[in-house]
Chain A
Amino acid sequence: GAVVSQHPSWVICKSGTSVKIECRSLDFQATTMFWYRQFPKQSLMLMATSNEGSKATYEQGVEKDKFLINHASLTLSTLTVTSAHPEDSSFYICSARPAGVPSEQYFGPGTRLTVT
């Protein structure tokens, strides 16, 4: 149980285009989902927290207009990188917190984004 999927697992896009990444909790309902960014050989940096049915809360320094987050249901959150540039190339990882279990987060397998 407690499986989180991400789609796509990797994507290459041209500079200036937008890319949508999906995060799904497959066998549980997630009231909260988190989006992280990880640069090579570095730790995970929290980008934003999304709660089902409400606006995401972004961490300081994260451009909310560039990284659009939607948490439309208890099993799906999406991250859209708008007008992507090469510096947005990174590994994006989501995690999902089951309803009523504040100490748990289950991580997705990550999405490798390369902007050319």
Chain B
Amino acid sequence: AQSVTQLDSQVPVFEEAPVELRCNYSSSVSVYLFWYVQYPNQGLQLLLKYLSGSTLVKGINGFEAEFNKSQTSFHLRKPSVHISDTAEYFCAVTPITGGGNKLTFGTGTQLKVEL
């Protein structure tokens, strides 16, 4: 079984400041890792994913994340946030093999960008 921990339920940040949203996971098998963004009353949009290769992954909207296997982390970063980045962010994992491609989500982090 897998579990995902997003320790920060809310992260307030001023516009144009950098931000890091933390994600740690636990799994007995190798996993793929994902970050999704959810705007109010909408579904989830994929920001980025790590499948293999370079541990630094670049996604849409200027976000990037780094996979650290030893620390079982996949933190999301953006060097300069914009008001439009205000949303809920979910980290998720799925086993590479087996598991039926089911995603296990973290509890989410509300990013609030202020002027």
Contact = CB atoms under 8 A, between A and B. Distances in A.
Interface of A: 4, 6, 32, 34, 41-44, 46, 49, 57, 91, 93, 95, 97, 102-103, 105-110, 112
A106 B101 CA distance: 12
Contacts of B86: none
Contacts of A57: 100
Interface in B87-110: 90, 94, 100-103, 105-108, 110
B44 A103 contact: no
B101 A44 contact: no
A109 B42 CA distance: 5
B103 A103 contact: no
A43, A57, A95: residue with the most chain B Cβ atoms closer than 10 Å: A43
Contact of A46 (B49, B51, B103, B108): B103
B101 A97 contact: yes
30 contacts: A32-B101, A34-B102, A34-B103, A41-B108, A42-B107, A42-B108, A43-B90, A43-B107, A43-B108, A44-B44, A44-B90, A44-B105, A46-B102, A46-B103, A49-B100, A49-B102, A91-B41, A93-B43, A93-B44, A95-B103, A102-B101, A103-B51, A103-B94, A103-B101, A107-B36, A107-B43, A107-B44, A108-B43, A110-B43, A112-B41
B80 interface: no
B32 interface: yes
Contacts of A93: 43-44
Contacts of B36: 107
Contacts of A41: 108, 110
Nearest to A93: B43
